[in-house]
Each structure stands twice: as structure tokens, then as C-alpha cells.
Amino acid sequence: MYIKASSVYKNIQSTGQNKSTFNCKKYLLESDNSPVIQSAIANIHTIWKNAYCDNCFGKSLVSATTNGTELSNSTLKFLLLYQNLTDCISNNILYNLPFNICKNCHHMYTALNKHFNDIEKISSSSVCMDIMDRMNYTRIQWSKTFNCSTKRPSDTALISSIVIGSVAVPIIYYVSAYVTSKGVAVIRGKLVRHYHTRSRLTQSQSSYGSVDEIRDYPLSDWIQ
């Protein structure tokens, strides 16, 4: 339709060259009436350009013919991947209750998302609007409607284990260090008391002449 509209406008512009026929160009484009046709074709071209529609095709459509337009290979591949994902979601909703879209359709979503990223790298910010709209809607539906993650479902348990382990290891370390330090402090206290006891015993031995004399020394005076 875009090509047809552009072609009709070009035909109107070219009719002024034939003086023997009715001058459509002068009547439609150069009359005192409101320039509806010029405004309409200008809006068509603006919408087409702002939506980067040419990027969906293998070549620019400005000079293309109706029979010579073909979608680019990257566009065809995207549409195929999009259809595969759409079919997978629909089939899971219809035939699998409770349905598990996140698991069953994950590889299709990943393939579609990867191909879109490849297109985006090549086209930068000028991705064809048909592709851009489909991908934006699919991402919203995947994350918001179905609560699916971009990561593989099988990775969820592994990631959870890693997170729990990362949190638990420091706690175990500090608890062990605390318990160990308390144990060392207790042992150190016992050694210090034992050392003082032996020191007093040694002093007592040096103060009395024999073991018998030590026996006669009150026990409460050298054992605290």
C-alpha cells in the first residue's frame, strides 16, 4: 500500500508533461483548494521513515515495484522465531494445566531474544518498528504476565544454592572464630591459673625445708 500510494502520487506529478490530456497535476496539486494530497503523502512518508520500515526489507521501497518487495532474511527469521514462541505459549495454555510456559518455551524465547539483539547491534537504534513492537510486547508478557526469568529454569536451584552458600559461609566463619576465640581464652585462663599455682607451690617449697613441712602448710594458703 505504501508503494501504491507513492506510485499514484508520482503519476499525478508526471501528468503535467502531456499538454493534450487533462492536467491532473495542476488540478489536484496546484489548485487553490487545500493541499490534501500533498499533506497525505507527506504524512505517509513521515510515518514510514520514523518507523524505519525500510529496514524490514532487503532494499529501500522508494523505487521498488509492488512485485519486487521482499522482507530481509533477518526479518523473516525473526517472524519465524516469534511465531514458534507464540505457538508454544498458546499450546501450553490450552493443553497443559497447570501450564509451565517458563520451562517449556524458554529455549524459544532465548532464541528470539538473541536474534533481536543481533538485529539491534546491526541496526543500532533504527530497528524496524514491526520487529521492535513485537519484541517489546514479548518481553513484557514473558516477565510481567508469566513471571518468567531470562535465565534457564534449571539454573534457579544452582543460583539459589550459590546465594545461600555465599551468605552462610561468612556466618559460619565468624561463629567458628568466635567459639574458637572463647575456647582459647578459657584454656589460656586455665593455663595462667595453673602457672600461678605452680609458682606458689615452688615458692612454698623454697620457704620450707622438706616435703613434710609443705604437707604441714595449710592447703588454703597456696591454692587459690
Quick one: average pLDDT of 5-28?
A: 75
**Dist CA 58 CA 63 (whole Å):** 13
Please state, as a whole number, how many other Cβ atoms lie within 10 Å of the Cβ of residue 105: 24
pLDDT band at 52 (very low <50, low <70, confident <90, very high): very high
Q: Is the pLDDT of residue 200 over 70?
A: no
The conformational region for residue 69 under phi > 0 = left, psi -120 to 50 = alpha, else beta, is: beta
pLDDT of 89-143, one tens digit each?
Answer: 999 988 866 668 999 999 999 999 999 999 999 887 899 999 999 999 999 999 9
What CA–CA distance (Å, rounded) separates 78 from 131? 8
**C-beta contacts of 26-32 below 8 A and 24+ residues apart:** none
Range 146-163 average pLDDT: 61
Per-residue CA distances from 86 to 91, 137, 148, 195 (Å): 9, 12, 15, 81
List residues bridging with 71 in a β-sheet: 57
Please provide residue 71's backbone torsions phi and psi, each rounded to the nearest 5 degrees.
Answer: -65, 150
| pLDDT of 133 | 95
Rounded Cα distance between 200 and 193, Å, is 11
Q: Is 1 helix (H, G, I), strand (E, B) or coil?
A: coil
